Structure 1
Amino acid sequence: MIRDPLGAFVPGTACVVQATGDGPLAGTTFAAKDLFDVAGHVTGCGNPDWARTHAPAKRHAAAVKALLDAGSTLVGKAITDEISLGLVGRNRFEGTPLNPKAPDRVPGGSSSGSASAVAGGLVDTALGTDSGGSVRTPAAFCGLYGLRPTLGRISCEGMMLQSPTFDTCGWFAADGEMFARVGAVLLGAPIGGPAFSRMIVATDCFAIADEPVRAALAPAVARLAGAFASVVEAPLATGDILEWSAAQSLLQRAEFSATFAPFVEAAVPRFSIEVGTTLALAALIGEADLVGPKAFRAEATARMVDLLGDDGVICLPTTPILPPPRDEPFSALMRSVGRIVELTAIAGLTGHPQVNLPLADHGGIPVGLSLIGPKGSDERLVAFARDFPAA
């Protein structure tokens, strides 16, 4: 079992699988969020009653197998927020992984252990999942490269699905070169493609960010501008940008309520207050409540397609807030989750790829800057992240 000074791995769980190939990731190591199946091991999903009521996996998840076949060795299952319902990284049952870049702050979730392990140098890369922001948020909070891919771009076979029309498989790396090496394996294609020529700086997204975030990102945005032939400042939304997160929240909650309802009925599981409350409120959502959000989703997606074309990217803060303190009270953390979704909802609602670039900090606390690209531009976003200088 790997030495774990960060509390990044599921306690008491030894899960080591040697590489099965000698490919482009030979000699590297990775962690898998405890939502990915590993043959012979229970996928615990951050909840003891889920682990108790589920049998060991019979085969590896597709993403786990891809990394093993490429020459990387799995060294452990990383902690996730409980049944992946969280964005700050606290798990009542398994603990809160350390944020190596800001030890007094949360690491972000729900791929908290994966980000912690990479940021702390325990592994070269790690698998995460992103439905409402669960790769992008910990990447931003821990100062890492992280991608939420185009919906459906990377296989989710063998990954616990929470909200099927939002769920994606992503990954983390501490440097651009490793980020691209892993990306080529998971995306199954060479990293590169036509360069983006336009950057739209989403003024409404920056406007709702806290002042320390805006101030930290201003120099990074100015640096990014030099990489594009055209840079314009414009609002992303035609109305209130917060309508995007309102629609995303209702749709995602309805989906994960349906996902977990059979488990709740059969196992009557123990939940933390935040997860139990979230599930209880989600169960009250009816079909009539989803008519408006579904229509809005189609409109928002069309808006993104129009703005991006084939050659554009949207620039925005990854999260509108700094990572909250580890000891922040429950009520304040719930407010923080609501703030985070204000911006992570955009790519999740519309199925677009989004990359976090670790280009800024506020007094040493990481601040993430994001680019959202056209659907299917994943390889191009990763290439930009690899080639743009970090400092």
Structure 2
Amino acid sequence: MSPFVPGTDIRIEGRPGGPLSGLRFAAKDLFDIAGHPTGGGNPDWARQNPLPTRHAWAVQTLLDAGATLIGKTITDEVSLGILGENAFDGTPLNPAAPGHVPGGSSSGSASAVAQGFSELALGTDTGGSVRVPASFCGLYGIRPTHGRLNLTGMLPQAPSSDTTGWFARDAATFARVSEVLLQEKAAEAPPTRLVIAVDAFGFAEPETAAALEPMLDRLKALIPDWREEVLAPPGLVAWGRAQRTLQPVEAWETFRPWIERDNPRFAFSVARGLVLGAATPEAERGWAALTRQEVRGRLRHLLPPGTVLAMPTTPFPAPRAGLPLSALNPIRDQILSLCAVGGLAGHPQISLPGASVAGRPVGLSLIAARGGDTLLLRAALEMEKA
């Protein structure tokens, strides 16, 4: 299926002579494009909210750098999803694993790049919405340091975790785009220390952990000073539970005025998530907030400047599309247990392609200290050459 929002036809030329001239990009349907509705994957959001009069910051920045916008891409409904299936707009094709989900919520953006419609695409990442589709579609994807990018014109979900992210098929393009959006060149030298999160590799399915071993070996050759550590002493599942507590609570707070004003339509799983967020007890919210502080302290300890941490991006490759709701909950919980570190800690994280299980891609993630985004760019460039 096409990665683009049905019924849209958008093309905006980039500024001639910019550093990204000649490249095409697509934008997730959470980013404002002047004169076009921001749908957010929900037909009532587009109908019940005004047309944007300005481009989102990320869209304008890429246009100013010379990239040409070619369309808006499908997203999980109001970005509340991790697999890439949308009850209204459909499920974009995962060309790396036909018949399997592309990952969400930046599903269409990943699909557009993976299918070759564009060289790059904008997504958003709250609980894993760039990292997961990057892993499932075999792409480079980044969740930058939380708070580093201007999010003006990007539809929020859970502001304490939301950030803009992006995809590319190769490291050179990925670095070019990243330097424009981060407004900083890739670090001149690769990381000097490597931490391998043994509990994260243990949490992944054995076939996935084994598939990532050759990439780990290349990484160790690039960074000889390496050691193994437990990422989450309380358990990755506890970290996942904290993110699954905080994120729906914030999502309810974000969308509550719209819901109470307009009573919009939602798919069952999305409505259920919002209801659960509204009903979360204060004690549970307090526990999750304390866990977030614990996660941030742990990452500060593990990641001094110059250090990167390696872990699987997802615990398995893309599941089959169209699974029943009863089968989806444990799949989502497993994925979010690995991805929770991003939203809780706010550290930059990239997913690198290069491994597969039964022909379906799986990504290797690298995490750096807050503000260490360009160190990850250098690591990506060096890994592609290794």
Q: Can you list the C-alpha shifts for 1:257-289, whole angstroms capped at 9, x where unaligned?
A: 100111111111111111011111111014332
Q: Please tell me whether residue 109 in structure 1 is matched to residue 114 in structure 2.
A: no
- What is the deviation of 1:135? 0.2
- Report the Cα distance in structure 1 between the residues aligned to 2:385 and 2:128, rounded to whole angstroms: 22
- Report the Cα distance in structure 2 between the residues aligned to 1:348 and 1:248, rounded to whole angstroms: 7
Residue aligning to 1:323: 318
TM-score (norm. length: structure 2): 0.98
Residue aligning to 1:336: 331
- What is the deviation of 1:21? 4.3
Amino acid at match of 2:18: G
Q: Can you list the C-alpha shifts for 1:102-147, whole angstroms capped at 9, x where unaligned?
A: 0111000000000000001000100000000000000000000000
Amino acid at match of 1:338: D
Q: Please tell me whether residue 205 in structure 1 is matched to residue 182 in structure 2.
A: no
User: 5+ unaligned residues in a row in structure 1: which ranges?
Assistant: 1-5
Q: Please tell me whether residue 183 in structure 1 is matched to residue 174 in structure 2.
A: no
Q: 1:15 aligns with which of 10, 15, 23?
A: 10
Q: 2:64 aligns with which of 63, 69, 73?
A: 69
Q: 1:154 aligns with which of 149, 167, 179?
A: 149
Amino acid at match of 1:123: S
- What is the deviation of 1:296? 1.5
Which has the higher mean CA deviation after the structures are superposed, 9-18 or 237-246? 237-246
Taking every aligned residue pair, what percent have the same amino acid on both sides? 49
Check conservation: 2:146, 2:162, Cα contact below 8 A.
yes
Q: Please tell me whether residue 248 in structure 1 is matched to residue 276 in structure 2.
A: no
Q: Can you list the C-alpha shifts for 1:212-268, whole angstroms capped at 9, x where unaligned?
A: 211211221122111113111121122222111111111111111100111111111
Partner of 1:32, secondary structure, is strand
Residue aligning to 2:367: 372
CA RMSD of aligned residues (A): 1.2
Q: Residues 337 and 112 (structure 1 numbering): CA distance in 2 closer, same or farther, change over 3 Å?
A: same
User: 5+ unaligned residues in a row in structure 2: which ranges?
Assistant: none
Check conservation: 1:247, 1:294, Cα contact below 8 A.
yes
Residue aligning to 2:356: 361
- Report the Cα distance in structure 2 between the residues aligned to 1:55 and 1:96, rounded to whole angstroms: 26
Equivalent residue runs for 1:136-151 within 5 Å: 136-151=131-146
- What is the deviation of 1:191? 1.6
Which has the higher mean CA deviation after the structures are superposed, 192-201 or 102-111? 192-201
Residue aligning to 1:297: 292
Partner of 2:384, secondary structure, is coil
Residue aligning to 2:87: 92
Equivalent residue runs for 1:157-236 within 5 Å: 157-236=152-231
Q: Please tell me whether residue 307 in structure 1 is matched to residue 302 in structure 2.
A: yes
Amino acid at match of 1:236: L
- Report the Cα distance in structure 2 between the residues aligned to 1:253 and 1:267, rounded to whole angstroms: 20
Q: Which runs of 4+ in 1 moved over 2 A?
A: 286-289
Q: Can you list the C-alpha shifts for 1:132-169, whole angstroms capped at 9, x where unaligned?
A: 00000000000000000000111111100110010010
Residue aligning to 2:42: 47
- Report the Cα distance in structure 2 between the residues aligned to 1:252 and 1:329, rounded to whole angstroms: 24
TM-score (norm. length: structure 1): 0.96
- What is the deviation of 1:194? 4.2
- What is the deviation of 1:44? 0.3
Check conservation: 2:85, 2:91, Cα contact below 8 A.
yes
